[in-house]
Amino acid sequence: MKKSLLLLPLLAAAVTGCPSNSLKTATTADKPDILHAALDTTVAPGDDFFSYANGTWIKNNPIPASESNMGIGKKVQDEVYARLRQTSIEAAGAQNATPGSNPQKIGDFWAVGMDSVKADRLGATPLKPELDRIAAMKTVAEVPGVIGHEIPLGVNALIGPRVGQDDKNSDKMALYLRQAGLGLPNRDYYFNTDSRTKNIRAEYVKHVANTFKLLGQDATTAQANAAKVMALETTLAKSSRKLEALRDPYANYHKMSIAQLDKLTPGIDWKTWLGQMGGTSVDTVIVGQPEFYQTVGQLLKTKPLDDWKAYLAWHVAHEYAPTLSGPFVDENFHFYGTVLRGATAIRPRWKRVLDMQENALGDALGQLFVKEYFKPEAKARYDTLVKNVVSAFADHIQKVDWMSAPTKVVALDKLHKITPKVGYPDKWKDYSALTIDRSSLAANVMHANQWQYNYELNKLGKPVDRTEWGMTPQTYNAYYNGSNNEIVLPAAAFAIPGLLDADADDALVYGYAGASTIGHELTHGFDDEGSQYDAHGNLHEWWSKDDRKRFNERVNGIVKQFNGYTLLDSLHINGKATAGENIADLGGIVIGLDAFKKTKQYKEGKKINGLTPTQRYFLGYALGWQMHVRDESLASQLLTDVHSPAQYRVNGPMADVPAFYEAFGIKPGQKLYRPDSTRVMIW
């Protein structure tokens, strides 16, 4: 994925209508130049290109108290929130919305979501049926059945079923079982011994206890139950794989029959359990982490019933706390917003409701969005930009000296079979089976989670729908899907806040959209993970042994480079976990640059505000990572995210690109300078 944070922005005015497929070049002083305005010329580009490119913008855009970061994605998001808010208000106030229609559902979701008085009056009442179900258990034998009921409601309870294409047979949908069940972001939070993480663990136990108090437990009982939750989760975490280990597709692929799964986890009747989750016809599963499920089996035999009651009640409350009364919302924010992310004030209720509405009715909102904000001519323009970047990538594959001729043929075949999905899907999800009303916000979120679960489960046994999108068009992000061999580029991924297309020159857009989005996602098909999938989306080795060896040597170079970056005193970037994204960043930059070199602007070489076209291209790339982050959020990202922090997504790859050195006159002795022999070159 392009972005390190999954945001909920929609498209701003940036793509609302350049009628041609090429961008107009800004040449006059009366047009805005956001690249020049963002510069901090007190910083040498050869010492810290990220700060040189974005420093003034960062100084002028402090992080709001309610946010853990501030960046270009937030600006896009804010521009659109107002539009979504008005759309929702109008839908809520409509007197003639057809029952069951998308406008009715959008309006009712908004109306009850914004009714904080009703939420406060209801308290935890919307959760009572689920909490009663947990409390009514008489034996541990009932635990799987209750979990089977909670998982479709979105509760992260013990196991992680997911429907997806079979990695080794992309024409088939399969049921995956992944490690899951933790309340902290990942396993490292349970074991790291630095003071920051130890404090988070202590605060987490307090948070769980406080949540139990809100559910009506006395202080002693709440503390005892919080300790039970922590102990059970710590055991699960011990059998969970580290972030970097989850990126090996072969090591996380273990296809098993139900009988083999039963043998892996003695005492669990998987046919019955999967049936309780709706998977009555499942006869084969793909287990990601077998050791985790062995631990699940052991825990179901050894942990007493009261521990399971505490664990499940906590996870139900945790999942739905943001939909409940003020005390639940505030307690949830204190830990997950302040302790983990560093925000000091909760976001306005209307923004939080819009986030939930997006998760529940994203395609319904998307239909309204693209109709108004992503015109056909804009889509045609970005279709053309994709073609230009693909052409440049083909040239790179043909010219690299480390790949043999036979493997190049296969690589080019895979590249040309990548399906680009630009802007929005050709067909939208049908929400007719989803019930949304004004009973409670929690009920609507439950209904939406159940609907989404059923939607995914119903894919089993049916042909793969390769036209489906995994993101809505109003999402400021993009992705490469190895199983479909596709890049998906939502309309919002091209948004530049406050800038019209007519005022954006080719250099800016080729750096911002061509490199950091399109080229980045194309390169994911050939990074250390994506390169293991063939042109048809199957996990299959299509490289020669020597080619793979030479490729891995280059991957090891970028791993070593990023391992060397230390932040926040002692934390460092995990070079192995972030390798795929770092490869895609570097690839996107060099491929996008060659695509840009074919434009009129590059060939003419005219400066704008003293900046050459090539300099503006690199600044356009840096614009995509224009953001700053609170220390708490940065620390969390280093432990949980396969993306490097924004500053290093700029400075890291730039230090490997010879054209960057030439464009800005980078010399030995400057902080970003790397000798030729240490620079990483892959594509």
Q: Which residue do the tokens 């940036």 mark?
A: 14
CB-CB contact of 285 with 256 (8 Å): yes
Model confidence pTM above 0.85 = yes
Q: Which of 87-91, 193-197, 551-555 has the lowest mean pLDDT?
A: 87-91
pLDDT at position 20: 29
Tens of pLDDT along 592-609?
999 999 999 999 999 999
The encoded tokens of residue 653 equal 């790859």
pLDDT at position 9: 26
Q: Which of 70-84, 164-178, 365-379, 593-607 has the lowest mean pLDDT?
A: 365-379
Q: Which residue do the tokens 């529940």 mark?
A: 360
Find the mean pLDDT for residues 527-532: 97
Band of the pLDDT at 81, cuts 50, 70, 90?
Answer: confident
Find the mean pLDDT for residues 331-342: 98
Q: Which residue do the tokens 């406060």 mark?
A: 120
User: What span, in angstroms and rounded, lies between the C-alpha atoms of 11 and 78?
Assistant: 10
CB-CB contact of 164 with 174 (8 Å): yes
Q: Where are the domains of the chain?
A: 13-22+44-83+352-678, 125-323
CB-CB contact of 296 with 144 (8 Å): no
Residue 311, C-beta contacts closer than 8 angstroms, at least 6 positions apart: 157, 158, 228, 229, 232, 233
pLDDT at position 8: 28
Tens of pLDDT along 266-307?
999 999 999 999 999 999 999 999 999 999 999 999 999 999
pLDDT higher than threshold 80 for residue 31: no
Three-class SS string for 561-575? HHHCCEECCCEECCC
pLDDT at position 16: 24
CATH code of 125-323, in short, is 1.10.1380.10
pLDDT higher than threshold 70 for residue 241: yes
pLDDT at position 25: 36
User: What span, in angstroms and rounded, lies between the C-alpha atoms of 518 and 249?
Assistant: 24
Band of the pLDDT at 60, cuts 50, 70, 90?
Answer: very high
User: What span, in angstroms and rounded, lies between the C-alpha atoms of 503 and 509?
Assistant: 11
Q: Return the percentage of the chain with pLDDT > 90, whole number.
A: 88
Band of the pLDDT at 347, cuts 50, 70, 90?
Answer: very high
* AA identity, residue 399: K
Give me the DSSP letters along 21-52.
SSPPPP-STTS--HHHHH--TTS-TTT-HHHH
User: What span, in angstroms and rounded, lies between the C-alpha atoms of 286 and 333?
Assistant: 35
Find the mean pLDDT for residues 110-138: 98
Band of the pLDDT at 32, cuts 50, 70, 90?
Answer: confident
pLDDT higher than threshold 60 for residue 27: no
Return the CATH class of domain 13-22+44-83+352-678: alpha beta
Tens of pLDDT along 450-506?
999 999 999 999 999 999 999 999 999 999 999 999 999 999 999 899 887 778 899
Find the mean pLDDT for residues 49-65: 98
Q: Cα angle vertex 462, ends 458, 467, to 5°?
A: 90
Look at residues 279, 280, 286, 314 and name the one whose alpha carbon lies nearest to residue 156: 314
Look at residues 317, 375, 292, 62 and name the one whose alpha carbon lies nearest to residue 183: 317
Band of the pLDDT at 1, cuts 50, 70, 90?
Answer: low
Strands (DSSP E) contained in 67-134 are: 69-71
Band of the pLDDT at 26, cuts 50, 70, 90?
Answer: very low
> Which run of H or E residues covers position 392?
helix 376-399
CB-CB contact of 494 with 11 (8 Å): yes
Calculated CA dihedral for residues 41, 42, 45, 46, nearest 10 degrees: 160
Main-chain phi, psi angles of 71, to 5 degrees: -165, -175
Q: What's the distance, CA 653 to chain centroid?
A: 21
Find the mean pLDDT for residues 631-644: 96
Q: Is 548 helix (H, G, I), strand (E, B) or coil?
A: helix
Helices (H) and strands (E) in the chain, counts: 28, 11
User: What span, in angstroms and rounded, lies between the C-alpha atoms of 311 and 19?
Assistant: 57
Band of the pLDDT at 2, cuts 50, 70, 90?
Answer: low
pLDDT at position 12: 28
The separation between the first and the last C-alpha atoms of the chain, rounded to the nearest angstrom, is 18
Q: Mean pLDDT of all residues in the chain? A: 93
pLDDT at position 662: 98
Tally Cβ neighbours within 10 Å of residue 459: 17
Find the mean pLDDT for residues 226-248: 98
CB-CB contact of 584 with 247 (8 Å): no
